[in-house]
Structure 1
């Protein structure tokens, strides 16, 4: 499925942040995700982003209008149209001079909100018991239930074995 840039790439960044290991460098994660932080992520911003990921996690557990509106209200967003780098006009949700953590918060909140408005069922958490991985479902049919083929296979093999015993 093709999403607008905020409903797709920004929502996927939200999933990567939520899935980040506790000791992972979030500045490096942002750079690897092609999000241009425009400067280093300092310790205070890193701590704020860690706190933000816990709030994003709740959206993947139970996406709702109320929860997403609460996230949007916590951002310091000022939407505007940008034409940087020769790209066609597109929306930005925070000022380029805003601190990195504020820009990431606006970007991910609006990304999840845009995705939710397009198709709320595309915001997911792995259905395998014990797996906490979250994902953005970009599959063609929108019926993804697991974070990976590995988790899907584990569940289906366990179900098959349970049926064989019965």
Structure 2
């Protein structure tokens, strides 16, 4: 049985936050990602989440034990098992009453840490020069290098053309 494949939803939310456009509504992004309950995000929380996004981004550039432990230390996370709203027992990483920015920080830090512990090579950034998109590699063989097939195709076509011209 595989309980937490590739960091689960928390790591995917970290990906969506890092890949978000600079002016994107983070509350909407979180809700669309299935993160509940979001509640209102005030200006202070929005600014803190955007600062947090920069810290998450560094994990995709150079995932390491030290970097992830530093992220975990910056959260108010205290994992506990919760049963609410008729849901099965599940983990919460911060108090349900904590501000949304604190909950998101704990959730994404724990998700990336879980992913890193399962397989650190699954945390990725697109290998195409000029593309800054990050991803969680959920491929069967774990050898993903590009964010999309479009970026992969661009790189491989350019390499093919260089070989033909060379």
Is the shorter-chain TM-score for this pair beyond 0.5, marking a shared fold?
yes
- Shift of the alpha carbon at 1:6? 8.2
**Cα deviation code 1:28-87 (max 9, x no counterpart):** 100110101441111110000000000000000000000000000000011111122333
**1:15 corresponds to 2:10:** no
Aligned-partner Cα distance in 1 for 2:8–2:129: 26
Aligned pairs for 1:80-119 within 5 A: 80-119=80-119
Aligned length: 165
CA contact (8 A) 1:6 1:107 kept: no
* Alignment correspondent of 1:155: 155
Does structure 1 residue 68 correspond to structure 2 residue 68?
yes
1:6/1:136 CA distance change after superposition, 3 Å = closer
After TM superposition, the structure 1 stretch with the greater mean CA deviation from structure 2, 81-90 or 137-146, is 81-90
Query: 1 CA distance for matches of 2:6 and 2:148?
Result: 23
RMSD: 1.3
Task: State the shift of 1:141 in Å.
Answer: 1.0
User: Matches of 1:97 and 1:126 in 2, distance apart?
Assistant: 36
Say if 2:138 is the partner of 1:138: yes
After superposition, the C-alpha distances for 1:70-118 in whole angstroms (9 at most, x for unaligned) are 0000000111111223333221110000000000000000000000000
Q: What displacement does 1:5 show?
A: 7.0
TM-score (norm 1): 0.95
Give the TM-score taking structure 2 as reference length.
0.95
Matches of 1:30 and 1:97, distance apart in 2: 17
Q: Distance in 2 between matches of 1:37 and 1:46?
A: 16
Structure 2 unaligned spans of 5+? none
SS in structure 1 of the partner of residue 85 of structure 2: helix
Native 8 Å contact 1:6 1:110 kept in 2 = no
Secondary structure (helix, strand or coil) at the match of 1:91 reads: strand
- How far apart in 2 are the matches of 1:145 and 1:16? 18
